[in-house]
Structure 1
Amino acid sequence: MALTVAELLEFDAVRDAEPEVLAGRDALDRPVRWVHSSEIYEIGPLLSGGELLLTTGLGLAGSDAGARRHYVRELADRGVSGLVVELGRSFSDIPSELVAEAERRGLPLIALRAVVPFIRMCEAANTAIVDEAAQRLRLGDRVTRALNEALISGAGVAGLLRTAADVTGAPIVLTTVSGALVAFFGVSDDHAAWATVDAGRAEAEVIVHGRAWGRLIAGSGSALAPEDLASTVERTATALAVEILRTGDPPTERERHAAALLTDLVAGGGLAPAETAVRTGLAGFRPPPGRPLVGVAVDAPETRPAVTLIDHAARLLGTSALRARVRESVLALVVAPDSGNPVSAAEAAFGEAGRRSGAPQITVALGYSVTEPTGWASSLEQARAALALALARTGRGAARPGNRPVVVSARTLALELELSRRADPGQLDAFVERTIGPLVAWDARHRTGLVRTLELYLRHGTNVTRTAAALHLRRQSLYQRLERIESLLGHAPADPDLYPALLAACLVAAR
């Protein structure tokens, strides 16, 4: 906090001069930017405001009462913090017109009854003022470094609020410009956050694209001076604007409830019906009773494209979705049509949404459909398991056919999922060796894809046209691969008696 006139009067160098306040006692809390001494009558125009002016009155000694009043008025107009006059050299007492005019203008007027060199007072006061400014600069640097580190580390909005709370020692709340609660740190719940907003000690607008996006409020409890608290809040608001421009809007209150609900579902299984009803309502998700829902897990480099894809698929279905990022994936519960096959309808909707968006590097996995809230956790877990298996096979960020998202479901990967859960790895390796060992060895030596070719051939019901399309091959090239497979295995790959074992072996080999 800037030093005030009252505080400077307590300095030893000033107290030794026996100061006496003659006017402007109610204005002693004015901040002092600098302490300056001058005997020039026309000093007013040379000052910029905030100075505490020291003088012996030499420039006023030969002037009349009107000129002295003008001198005080000019200092007051320039925003001087106060006028200090040393008695004994020019005046034995302060002229009454100086006191009267200073009182009328609310300008602190202090008489010094003892002689102390002005240089001693200026040195003590200005050193303290510079030290105060240096401390404020150091605080600003510390705040800026901490906020920059939070931005660089990807800590997000929550990390920036935590950083501001650590620096200020006060709770921090972020709202939209319309008044919706976005995020907070340093308080326990929404009720406490709103209490902080009502009793805020400092606030700043978050400006995005030249327009007010929201408000950042610091509550009580900070040991910082008011201007330091305000400066820290303003710096944090700027960092938040950068984060919002970089990553998009932070989650709303409903989105935070959605994330918490989905997190609890995958962490602890089902919830009590009453709790489920309340929490879905808070998240703005109200699925019709008895309608099937499908759990969805999406892997994407960023949250926003995944959320956009889910919302687009739900619109195509004519329904709604509960979605949020949970750990490394974006999870969702999507309401499916109540006629036909819900999973097939959801697969088609996500496929069409992906085709329209053309968003690459996204993998979508669907669980089984469920009609009761007690099954939501299970469907989400199925979707997460299918997503993990799909990523293990294709890899994150791998090229997608047609530059579109990949859509898989737990039902199409049921055999692989079951094998991964139950079978002993050693037994599975032996099974693969017995069944398709020559294909695995050939692929390893020649860097070919015979095992993958056989898998897709069997998955597509030995339909050559569909298999060639899935592999992006000409039919003649596929026939050549099938001939190679048959020669290595010693039997036709489409043998109905061996079909289940061959497909299982291909799936295990690809794990």
Structure 2
Amino acid sequence: MPLTLRELLSFEVLREARPEVLAGETALDRVVRWVHSSEIYEIGPLLTGGELLLTTGLGLAGTDAGARRHYLREIAARGVAGVALELGRTFPETPRELVEEARRQELPFIALHAVVPFIRITEHVNTLIVDYASRRLRVGDSATRALNEALIAGAGVAGVLATGAEVVGAPLMLLSASGALVAAHGVGSDRDAWRAAERAVCESPVTLHGHPWGRLVAGPGSALPADDLAIALERTAVALALAMLRTGSPPSERDRQTSALLRDLIEGTAEADPGVRAVMAGLPTGPGHLLVGVAVDALETAAALAVLDRAAHILHTTALRGRVGRLVLGTLAVPVAVADAAGAAAQALEEALRRLHTPQLRVAVGHAATGLAELGGSLRDARAALGLRRDARLVTTRALALELELTRHADARHAAELVRRTIGPLVDWDTAHRTDLVGTLEVFLLHGCSATRAAAALHLGRQTFYQRLQRIETLLGHPVTDPGAHAALLLATAAHRVASR
């Protein structure tokens, strides 16, 4: 652990000096980066922060109270850990103005009532500080070496996670920004992984393309000290990000052009007729095909590309796909002879996910576009859908049409008023009793007011479901099976879910 001022004062070499804390008692847990002694009045500009300054006050001899206050203000401004004044040589007792200024600056100020050579103090404490820094470097180098060997050997996310768990000596869980469990090592099941995550002793952020992607969590059991554990976990998080980004080989010029085209389409910056670029990339754009936009939130680019290629193979068509920022975007060209192009694309992608065993991917399917001019909207809707439903492996913009419209057009204040006016009593009840009557109502409406299908979707017995439904209607004061209320209730439940998320 880093050495704090409080710990330093407990050392025998300091206790011999009979230290007395006169100011800054609440700041004694500051980390001491170095112990330095000086009698120079103008020492402030020479300090860099984190030092414990030892002085006999010789540089303050002959100065007035104002100069002494200025001396301490300059030192405090440098971010030092504290100041220790040895009494007896220059000052028989502590000058009052120094104590007052230290309290004003919230700077730990310590009087040393017995003489202990400063060289003894600095040698003892600074040796401990150097030893600690050296040990941290050794731990970091050891972890980095093991993780680099795994990466060089071609290990993917699972392999890097296993190496990190071995270095740390505890189970590791990789969680997405939404809180979903993506991968784990050192546990027997997902349930065990969640239990270990709930008892986490350390975690480190995982960043992709400059944006927060998730976090790496270490469960209990590591024999490493807390600081060493934090270092090893941080190095593992970096290695995991590299494993996620690696595609196995550098992108070709065609891959770069494809990614550039997809980026222009989703951002709406493509030229009026990007058809030539699409044809060069191998995507049919004629009247015989409909184009379905796809967005994939992927740990590994190669896995996402494989799913899109497999879906295209299932559909007997071609796919345009590439990495754009933190997502992999794709376009499936579905023949117009297929009655439901978007539905067929969703089924093919679901089958590809199943065959390739890629639980770490989340896929969103946009609407069918009649050409490149509409494809950008399909891609943008698919990207937005990923943010609306983080708990599902595959979602379609058709199923989230209401939520997408709310996020595009609804004013937050207006939506909140809609929720309050329409289903306010349910929201209040859920808040007070930690239930989910709002969610129950939405599932009931989405299943055509069929109690049997809604109960099955919620994994509830029919009797339990009927009890919930009765409470919902009692709180609202009207039956929810009235067709005239369906639109308002669905809109309000969706608005509440979007706002909650």
Q: Does 1:139 align with 2:139?
A: yes
Partner in structure 1 of residue 190 of structure 2: 190
Q: SS at the partner of 1:89?
A: coil
Partner in structure 1 of residue 234 of structure 2: 234
Q: Does 1:118 align with 2:118?
A: yes
Cα distance in structure 2, aligned partners of 1:30 and 1:311: 57
Partner in structure 2 of residue 24 of structure 1: 24
Deviation at 1:202, TM superposition (A): 3.6
Provide closer, same or farther for how the CA distance between residues 220 and 95 of structure 1 changes in structure 2, counting only shifts above 3 A.
Answer: farther
Cα distance in structure 2, aligned partners of 1:29 and 1:224: 22
Partner in structure 1 of residue 79 of structure 2: 79
Residues 44-443 of structure 1 mapped to structure 2, 5 A cutoff: 44-198=44-198, 200-247=200-247, 307-316=307-316, 318=344, 319-320=347-348, 321=351, 322-324=354-356
Residues 36-51 of structure 1 mapped to structure 2, 5 A cutoff: 36-51=36-51
State whether residues 205 and 212 of structure 2, in contact with CA within 8 Å, keep that contact through their aligned partners in structure 1: yes
Deviation at 1:110, TM superposition (A): 1.5
Residue identity in the other structure for 1:165: A
Partner in structure 2 of residue 402 of structure 1: none
Residues 442-453 of structure 1 mapped to structure 2, 5 A cutoff: none
Deviation at 1:112, TM superposition (A): 1.5
Partner in structure 2 of residue 2 of structure 1: 2
Residue identity in the other structure for 1:183: A
Deviation at 1:148, TM superposition (A): 0.9
Deviations 1:388-434 (CA, angstroms, capped at 9, x unpaired): xxxxxxxxxxxxxxxxxxxxxxxxxxxxxxxxxxxxxxxxxxxxxxx
Deviation at 1:165, TM superposition (A): 2.4
Provide closer, same or farther for how the CA distance between residues 219 and 97 of structure 1 changes in structure 2, counting only shifts above 3 A.
Answer: farther
Cα distance in structure 2, aligned partners of 1:304 and 1:42: 61
Q: SS at the partner of 2:54?
A: strand
Provide closer, same or farther for how the CA distance between residues 224 and 72 of structure 1 changes in structure 2, counting only shifts above 3 A.
Answer: farther
Cα distance in structure 2, aligned partners of 1:26 and 1:157: 44
Deviation at 1:198, TM superposition (A): 4.9
Partner in structure 2 of residue 447 of structure 1: none
Residue identity in the other structure for 1:323: R
Deviations 1:65-101 (CA, angstroms, capped at 9, x unpaired): 2222222222211111010111110011111221222
Cα distance in structure 2, aligned partners of 1:73 and 1:227: 32
State whether residues 172 and 216 of structure 1, in contact with CA within 8 Å, keep that contact through their aligned partners in structure 2: yes
State whether residues 202 and 219 of structure 2, in contact with CA within 8 Å, keep that contact through their aligned partners in structure 1: yes
Partner in structure 1 of residue 12 of structure 2: 12
Deviations 1:258-303 (CA, angstroms, capped at 9, x unpaired): xxxxxxxxxxxxxxxxxxxxxxxxxxxxxxxxxxxxxxxxxxxx87
Deviations 1:455-506 (CA, angstroms, capped at 9, x unpaired): xxxxxxxxxxxxxxxxxxxxxxxxxxxxxxxxxxxxxxxxxxxxxxxxxxxx
Q: SS at the partner of 2:174?
A: strand
Q: Identity of paired residues, percent?
A: 60
Cα distance in structure 1, aligned partners of 2:19 and 2:223: 31
Cα distance in structure 1, aligned partners of 2:15 and 2:218: 38
Cα distance in structure 1, aligned partners of 2:85 and 2:141: 39
Residue identity in the other structure for 2:116: V
Deviation at 1:190, TM superposition (A): 2.4
Provide closer, same or farther for how the CA distance between residues 73 and 153 of structure 1 changes in structure 2, counting only shifts above 3 A.
Answer: same
TM-score (norm 2): 0.50
State whether residues 155 and 243 of structure 2, in contact with CA within 8 Å, keep that contact through their aligned partners in structure 1: no
Provide closer, same or farther for how the CA distance between residues 111 and 140 of structure 1 changes in structure 2, counting only shifts above 3 A.
Answer: same
Deviations 1:339-396 (CA, angstroms, capped at 9, x unpaired): xxxxxxxxxxxxxxxxxxxxxxxxxxxxxxxxxxxxxxxxxxxxxxxxxxxxxxxxxx
Cα distance in structure 2, aligned partners of 1:57 and 1:33: 22
Partner in structure 2 of residue 474 of structure 1: none
State whether residues 303 and 325 of structure 1, in contact with CA within 8 Å, keep that contact through their aligned partners in structure 2: no
Cα distance in structure 1, aligned partners of 2:202 and 2:304: 32
Provide closer, same or farther for how the CA distance between residues 104 and 305 of structure 1 changes in structure 2, counting only shifts above 3 A.
Answer: closer
Task: Please tell me the root mean square deviation across aligned C-alpha atoms, in Å.
Answer: 2.6
Cα distance in structure 1, aligned partners of 2:229 and 2:177: 21
State whether residues 174 and 217 of structure 1, in contact with CA within 8 Å, keep that contact through their aligned partners in structure 2: yes
Residue identity in the other structure for 2:166: D
Cα distance in structure 2, aligned partners of 1:225 and 1:25: 27
Deviation at 1:123, TM superposition (A): 0.8
Provide closer, same or farther for how the CA distance between residues 55 and 146 of structure 1 changes in structure 2, counting only shifts above 3 A.
Answer: same
Cα distance in structure 1, aligned partners of 2:238 and 2:195: 24
Deviation at 1:27, TM superposition (A): 1.5
Residue identity in the other structure for 2:181: L
Deviation at 1:120, TM superposition (A): 1.3
Cα distance in structure 2, aligned partners of 1:226 and 1:104: 34
Provide closer, same or farther for how the CA distance between residues 239 and 75 of structure 1 changes in structure 2, counting only shifts above 3 A.
Answer: same
Deviations 1:136-193 (CA, angstroms, capped at 9, x unpaired): 0000101101111221223321222222223333432112334332101233332343
State whether residues 207 and 213 of structure 2, in contact with CA within 8 Å, keep that contact through their aligned partners in structure 1: yes
State whether residues 35 and 54 of structure 1, in contact with CA within 8 Å, keep that contact through their aligned partners in structure 2: yes
Cα distance in structure 2, aligned partners of 1:84 and 1:14: 10
Provide closer, same or farther for how the CA distance between residues 65 and 156 of structure 1 changes in structure 2, counting only shifts above 3 A.
Answer: same
Specify every segment of 5 or more residues in structure 1 that has no aligned partner in the other structure, as ranges. Answer: 249-301, 327-511
Deviation at 1:49, TM superposition (A): 0.3
Cα distance in structure 2, aligned partners of 1:86 and 1:303: 66
Q: SS at the partner of 2:246?
A: helix
Residue identity in the other structure for 1:56: T
Cα distance in structure 2, aligned partners of 1:305 and 1:36: 58
Cα distance in structure 1, aligned partners of 2:100 and 2:175: 50
Cα distance in structure 2, aligned partners of 1:303 and 1:211: 20
Cα distance in structure 2, aligned partners of 1:97 and 1:169: 53
Q: SS at the partner of 1:173?
A: strand
Partner in structure 2 of residue 269 of structure 1: none
Cα distance in structure 2, aligned partners of 1:73 and 1:304: 58
Residue identity in the other structure for 2:115: V
Residue identity in the other structure for 1:17: A
State whether residues 35 and 125 of structure 1, in contact with CA within 8 Å, keep that contact through their aligned partners in structure 2: yes
Partner in structure 2 of residue 338 of structure 1: none
Cα distance in structure 1, aligned partners of 2:41 and 2:222: 44
Cα distance in structure 1, aligned partners of 2:49 and 2:177: 36
Q: Which moved more, 1:83-92 or 1:70-79?
A: 70-79
